[in-house]
Amino acid sequence: MSLLLKLQLNKNYKILEKNYQEIVLNPNHLLTFAVVARFKSITLAAQHLHLGQPAVSGQLKLLQSEVGEALYERKGHQIELTPAGKGLLEYAQKMDNDFNLAIDYVRCLQQINTGFLRLGSTTTIASFYLPQHVVQLQKLYPGVQVFMKTWDTAEIIRNLGDLDLGFIEGPVNEDELPGNYEVVPWQDDEIVLVLPEDHSVAQEYPESVPLEVFTQHPVIWREPGSGARHVVERALAAAGIVAPVSIEVTGVSGIKESVRAGLGIGFASSQALRHEAKGLVARRINPPNGLVWHLNIVAPKQIIQSRVTKAFLELCLG
């Protein structure tokens, strides 16, 4: 490409850039123009907008000045749009419609009649703790849509940017969290041994079992990312007990069905056995205190929480 051609192209680009930058339309003027066109009267539009007639006329003059040609002409007590005005009105009406929709949306948000709540939760919490709170939220605010992802604690922490709240098992190092998130202590739960009701361990230990049973019977383990598994592993390590891992399943339902099928003994949240009709029983592990674990909420700092997020937190913590 010749130097002369490069200079000419650069000159043309600068002219186009200058012309584009010189067009500055005031959104308020376009909204006012849409109202004037609707009423076909500056006086009626001024009354509707709670403005003085000179203010409305002034905005129209400034808009016409930016456009560079007349947008309307007076016909008696009314105005009639010019072809340029009719063309611009299409865009002004779209802006006016979107503006009114935005107002309605914000009003609904302020009343928590709309919006989204994105939750990330571990399987145990999603199964036994959150449903009652989600149902309560949707009864109070039926316009809110709730989306829930079930992950382990590590995955929830990694995906916080896509969530409004994370519900996790066990402690979290707050240094691992983004700066605008914090850990909110929520509830304590207990990990219990899950047994067939006719199992020899259930007969031998009617209330609680020692950690040694993990070395004496086949154990059905949760997946490696499970918070319940971490609690059991820490307790065994603290007691100097090594328990082999021969069977792994995913989720509380997997534990219960494997135990029911006679594959071994398992462990789960005490909540998992609360409504068990028959076939399975629970025993406290490592008496007298049992294996307690903590359930926590990872939440954005209060200043950046949406109204829906705040409402759900109040239901959970209240």
Domains of the chain: 3-110 (1.10.10.10), 116-186+295-317 (3.40.190.10), 189-292 (3.40.190.10)
What percentage of residues in the chain have a pLDDT greater than 90? Answer: 53
Tokens (6 digits) for 29:
């003027």
pLDDT at position 312 = 96
Distance CA 188, CA 191 (A): 10
Q: Burial level of 76, CB count in 10 A (0-12/13-18/19+)?
A: exposed
Nearest residue to 218 via CA among 190, 252, 249: 249
97-123: pLDDT as tens digits: 888 788 767 765 666 667 889 999 999
45-92: pLDDT as tens digits: 888 888 898 998 899 999 988 888 899 998 888 889 999 989 999 998
**Residues 25-32, mean pLDDT to the nearest whole number:** 88
Virtual torsion, Cα 202, 278, 265, 191, nearest 10 deg: -90
pLDDT at position 6 = 47
pLDDT at position 110 = 67
**Residues 11-28, mean pLDDT to the nearest whole number:** 62
292-305: pLDDT as tens digits: 999 999 999 988 89
Task: List the single range of 41-45, 146-150, 275-279 with lowest mean pLDDT.
Answer: 275-279
137-183: pLDDT as tens digits: 999 988 899 999 999 888 999 999 899 999 999 878 778 888 889 99
**Residues 235-258, mean pLDDT to the nearest whole number:** 93
pLDDT at position 100 = 78
Virtual torsion, Cα 189, 145, 137, 126, nearest 10 deg: -10
Sequence-ordered list of residues with C-beta below 8 angstroms from that of 260, at least 6 positions apart, any chain:
196, 279, 280
183-207: pLDDT as tens digits: 999 999 999 999 999 999 999 999 9
